Chain A
Amino acid sequence: MLKRIIVFTALVSFILMSCGGGNGNASKDVTYVTMPDGRKIPQGGTLIVGLISDVKALNPYISTSVQASNIESLIFMTLADINKDLSTYTPRIAKSWEFSDDRKTLIFHLRTDVYWTDGEKTTAEDVVFSHKLATDPHVAWSAIRWKDYISNVEAINDSTVQYTFSKVYPYQMMDATVGPIVPEHLLGDIKPENIATADFNLNPVGNGPFKLKKWRQQQQIEVVANPDYYEHGNPHLQRIVFKIVPDRTALLTQMKTGEIDLLENVPMKEFQQLKKDYKAGKTDIKPYEFMGRTYDYIGWNTIDPEKYDPDVHTTVESFNEIPNPYFADARVRRAMTMAINRELIREAIGYGLLTEMRGPIAPILWAYDENLPKIPFDPEKSRKLLSEAGWVDSDGDGIREKDGRDFHFIMKTNTGNERREQACTLIQDMLSKVGVKMEIRLEEGVTFFDNLDSKQFEAALAGWSVGLKVDMTTTFHSKSVLDKYNFPSYRNPEFDKVNDAAKFEMDRDKAKELWSEAQRILIEDQPYTWLFYTKSGHGLHKRFKDVVMDQRGTYVNLRDWWVPADERKY
């Protein structure tokens, strides 16, 4: 018996070793393509991307995750792509466009050499149909509101489309081009309410640089180069595999073992190590760092969560009846910010990837103003402000009181975000030094956001992802208190006025001044304490060349990436 086991083990290990290094060798006859700039670039190669979770559909009007829209951006195309400045555009399906003099209509002239991968031509009808799909409430596309001011889309002929707007505003072009074009001949006959479960979502037909080859649910999504793609020589890579690995540690290990080439959002601590290792030549994974799209903040609830009743408090005015005992007073909110050493927090937990943030407009947006006033870290002034607001420690227990109530509140945040948990601990300590007692409560993600949404919190450490438009209506406008994302129930008519004016100001300089003005009001009132803006850190194997990654995403120019023939791994 024992003998047999030994023989078997030996056999198994022998076969194991003999199969260990057997990666499919790339064929040696490489084809080169001459690009418009005269460079000769080898065609072929495989990129393997690690993803933490699978996507739900590869239909841009059904899927909801960033991950899905990234992959969709390889399979489908929009009329025009936004540039890095987030205000100008590069032609794609539309080769040119022009506004009418009154800016109420926008005409796109389409390319005539774009084909769906099933052989059908992409025409103006597809554009009209895509708009119909985007605005159909049964489809419930998550960005449906972007199309609110587009009153009509019609095909003038096969290659000309006219958009008519009900309003003139700065983001007309963005709203017209958002949402990729999908094929009418494959989706047109499906009832809108059945689009969500259409087979198309699993077997999409697009016209972009890549096409879906095989999707093994919960395992991997494989796309290959589309031979009929319109741009000469693109894409260079032959194959991209999105490999689903649901565990962060496992993802990181796979990047280190070379099983995946690209890992987005490497944990900050690991990213710092990666930067060091790459500099020292100890790893082939090259770090890419750029301004990200998220920021973290503390929201101070201005209303009393215990007294809030969504059936009673149905008007903005009614919120005045239930002020929060601590944070309804702007002086207290400012005192909180002054007591929190944001710089220290960034240094302690950020590993060099967190940057300063003073107001809600992100540094990647054109309206960003670096000269906004800054609320300094100043515990002395914080104490003074608290006393001024009536919070004094009269019984000498180290905690301030007012009207018999201790300044003792609960800070909520979501579990699973180590950075936020650490920030909470630091903040707890900082606030205790000004006589404020803070308790930390960690809640599971969905529960936490549900509590934010129903205003069941006193203070919350949360984050926002930043959109491409400059707009603060959904988060700070007083009309957003009732049904949108103004979680702290911040109400200031003065802010509302400036925000509304800025939104429709066509003159960039004037608009920027208005946005700065709106931000100055917010900084004065501090409905949030802005903690930090995050940079993204991605790791990609160094054999990939001509890589651009920026705030628009990781795959913005993936069709230009290439691998030197002798460095090819697959």
Chain B
Amino acid sequence: MLTYVIKRIGVAIPLIWLGLTLTFFIMRLAPGDPTTQYINPEFDPEVKQLMMEKFGLDKPLHIQYWKWLTSFVQGDFGTSFDRSRPVADVIHDAIYNTLLLNGLALIISLLTGVVLGIFSAIKQYSRFDDVMTVTSLFFYSMPSFWLGLMLILIFSYLLGWLPTGGMLSVNYEYMSAWGQFWDRVVHLIMPVFVLGLATAASTMRYMRGSMLEIIRQDYIRTARAKGVSERKVNFKHATRNAILPVVTLFGLSIPFIFSGSIITEIVFAWPGMGRVMLTAIFARDYPVAIAVVGIIYIMVTMGNLIADIMYAAVDPRVRYGSGGGSE
């Protein structure tokens, strides 16, 4: 197992390097530079030159690349042009917010998806199943920005129950401990809902499908024949096996927890990674953009790895030998 993990990481490193190198050059191919946004008759082009020197962008590209690569492997992501702060600080602020929002959304949506999927499968073709099928497809196909705006319209504008966006209230610092906790909760409700809904819907469909397949298997019938209670058959024997595809889904969703979701973060003014990436790209803030992309590369690779390892944990048929390494 350990050898397998080491081997996988060994393959991942050149892959991540290749991805980052490509990103580095592709980003420089985009027209403009970090100073283009300041164009204005009072902004002298000589100042542009000074700024380019300050950012180290006046040197040939291959030298910039080497400088960036050597500091990147040492964990130095450089300084953001657009925010005048170390890139690590910029990401540090945002990643926590994104983890909170997306982590919660993912966990809640997987749980509801799994539970509803199981019930849908057990009660196949019942009214509950029909309603769930239609609802899940309906929400799955709904664009998240639209859903977000509609929720804001209903719950913030018309009913006034929930804040329209942001992570904390303007008066957060002046609240009691309980008030602060509650303030966080109310700010999370709508974005978590919007983010989680599509995942919940798709998880539900996966779970239902795989559950239906399992409960028709011989060993389930045998269990029933032996007089095992219906509850135990469904939730212990069947669910454990039916949950495998959802585990893969979870592993593949891990990078998404870190990368943030641009649309939801913008609609709900959530200060997360998606926004950091978007503004960095528009401002041609190369160090920030490449660091965010780098994190996503690493997370995608790690997410796949974790999914494989978890597979082994829940499915005894899967074994990762030192010789094989295929799944």
For A193, list chain B residues within 8 Å (CB). Answer: 54
Q: How far is the CB of A487 from chain B (nearest CB, A)?
A: 10
Taking CB atoms and an 8 Å cut-off, the chain B residues in 29-82 that contact chain A are 30-33, 36-47, 50-51, 53-54, 79, 82
Given that A140-B54, A446-B282 are contacting pairs, would A474 and B41 also be in contact in the complex, using a CB cutoff of 8 Å? yes
Q: How far is the CB of A144 from chain B (nearest CB, A)?
A: 6
Is B165 an interface residue, CB under 8 A from the partner?
yes
- Contact indicator A247/B37 (Cβ below 8 Å): no
Taking CB atoms and an 8 Å cut-off, the chain B residues in 150-191 that contact chain A are 152-153, 156-157, 160-168, 170-171, 173-175, 179, 182, 186
A23 to B83, CA, bound (A): 33
Binds B, one of A11-19, A375-383, A543-551: A11-19
For A214, list chain B residues within 8 Å (CB). Answer: 173
- Contact indicator A219/B166 (Cβ below 8 Å): yes
- Contact indicator A218/B275 (Cβ below 8 Å): yes
For A444, list chain B residues within 8 Å (CB). Answer: 282
Q: A246-B266, A246-B275, A475-B41 are in contact. List 10 more A-B contacts (CB 8 A).
A: A16-B161, A141-B47, A144-B44, A219-B271, A245-B269, A253-B153, A257-B156, A447-B32, A449-B32, A465-B40
Taking CB atoms and an 8 Å cut-off, the chain A residues in 169-209 that contact chain B are 193, 196-197, 201-202
Chain B, residue nearest A254 (CB): B164
Is B229 an interface residue, CB under 8 A from the partner?
no
For A249, list chain B residues within 8 Å (CB). Answer: 149, 267
Indicate which residue in B37, B42, B182, B275 contacts A19 across the interface (CB closer than 8 Å): B182
Q: List 8 interface pairs A-B (beta carbons < 8 Å), by A numbering.
A: A218-B93, A219-B167, A219-B168, A247-B266, A253-B164, A259-B163, A445-B37, A465-B40
Is B279 an interface residue, CB under 8 A from the partner?
yes
- Contact indicator B30/A250 (Cβ below 8 Å): no
A246 to B163, CA, bound (A): 15
Binds B, one of A56-64, A351-359, A503-511: A56-64
For B168, list chain A residues within 8 Å (CB). Answer: 216, 219
Is B205 an interface residue, CB under 8 A from the partner?
no
Chain B, residue nearest A63 (CB): B84
| Closest A-B pairs by Cβ, 4 of them | A218-B271, A446-B32, A450-B32, A140-B50
Is A455 an interface residue, CB under 8 A from the partner?
no
Q: Mark B231-243, 1 if CB is under 8 A from A, else 0.
A: 0000000000000
- Contact indicator B32/A253 (Cβ below 8 Å): no
- Contact indicator A250/B164 (Cβ below 8 Å): yes
For A17, list chain B residues within 8 Å (CB). Answer: 161
Is A154 an interface residue, CB under 8 A from the partner?
no
Q: Give the interface size class of chain B.
A: 35 or more
A532 to B21, CA, bound (A): 45
For B161, list chain A residues within 8 Å (CB). Answer: 16-17, 20
For B268, list chain A residues within 8 Å (CB). Answer: 250
Indicate which residue in A24, A54, A197, A464 contacts B40 across the interface (CB closer than 8 Å): A464
Given that A202-B85, A245-B165, A257-B156 are contacting pairs, would A64 and B271 also be in contact in the complex, using a CB cutoff of 8 Å? no
For A446, list chain B residues within 8 Å (CB). Answer: 30-32, 36-37, 282-284
Chain B, residue nearest A248 (CB): B266
Q: Mark B79-97, 1 if CB is under 8 A from A, else 0.
A: 1001111100010011000
- Contact indicator A16/B186 (Cβ below 8 Å): yes
A138 to B161, CA, bound (A): 51
- Contact indicator B171/A24 (Cβ below 8 Å): yes
Is A243 an interface residue, CB under 8 A from the partner?
yes
Q: Give the interface size class of chain A.
A: 35 or more
Indicate which residue in B39, B45, B175, B283 contacts A449 across the interface (CB closer than 8 Å): B39
Is A554 an interface residue, CB under 8 A from the partner?
no
- Contact indicator A570/B54 (Cβ below 8 Å): no
For B174, list chain A residues within 8 Å (CB). Answer: 24
For A244, list chain B residues within 8 Å (CB). Answer: 269, 271
Given that A15-B182, A446-B284 are contacting pairs, would A197 and B84 also be in contact in the complex, using a CB cutoff of 8 Å? yes
Chain B, residue nearest A246 (CB): B266
Taking CB atoms and an 8 Å cut-off, the chain A residues in 26-57 that contact chain B are 46, 48, 53-54, 56-57
Taking CB atoms and an 8 Å cut-off, the chain B residues in 124-164 that contact chain A are 149, 152-153, 156-157, 160-164
For B282, list chain A residues within 8 Å (CB). Answer: 444-446
Is A282 an interface residue, CB under 8 A from the partner?
no
Indicate which residue in A142, A197, A222 contacts B43 across the interface (CB closer than 8 Å): A142
Central interface residue in A23, A250, A451, by most chain B CB within 10 Å: A250
For B165, list chain A residues within 8 Å (CB). Answer: 245, 247, 250, 254
Q: How many A-B residue pairs have CB under 8 A?
A: 163
A57 to B160, CA, bound (A): 34
- Contact indicator A56/B47 (Cβ below 8 Å): no
Is A484 an interface residue, CB under 8 A from the partner?
yes
- Contact indicator A453/B39 (Cβ below 8 Å): yes
For B275, list chain A residues within 8 Å (CB). Answer: 218, 246
Indicate which residue in B43, B171, B271 contacts A217 across the interface (CB closer than 8 Å): B271
A253 to B190, CA, bound (A): 15
Chain A, residue nearest B171 (CB): A24
A196 to B34, CA, bound (A): 15
For B266, list chain A residues within 8 Å (CB). Answer: 246-247
Q: Mark A361-380, 1 if CB is under 8 A from B, else 0.
A: 00000000000000000000
Q: How far is the CB of A153 from chain B (nearest CB, A)?
A: 20
- Contact indicator B50/A201 (Cβ below 8 Å): no
Indicate which residue in A19, A56, A220, A475 contacts B82 across the interface (CB closer than 8 Å): A56
Chain B, residue nearest A138 (CB): B54
Q: How far is the CB of B309 from chain A (nearest CB, A)?
A: 31
Q: How far is the CB of A135 from chain B (nearest CB, A)?
A: 11
- Contact indicator A23/B171 (Cβ below 8 Å): yes
Chain A, residue nearest B173 (CB): A214
A332 to B84, CA, bound (A): 46
Is A344 an interface residue, CB under 8 A from the partner?
no
- Contact indicator B170/A243 (Cβ below 8 Å): yes
Given that A17-B161, A202-B85 are contacting pairs, would A451 and B31 also be in contact in the complex, using a CB cutoff of 8 Å? yes
For A24, list chain B residues within 8 Å (CB). Answer: 171, 174-175
Q: How far is the CB of B273 from chain A (nearest CB, A)?
A: 11
Is A145 an interface residue, CB under 8 A from the partner?
yes
Is A137 an interface residue, CB under 8 A from the partner?
yes
Is A168 an interface residue, CB under 8 A from the partner?
no
A160 to B228, CA, bound (A): 95
For A250, list chain B residues within 8 Å (CB). Answer: 152, 164-165, 267-269
Indicate which residue in B36, B41, B94, B182 contacts A450 across the interface (CB closer than 8 Å): B36
Is A143 an interface residue, CB under 8 A from the partner?
yes
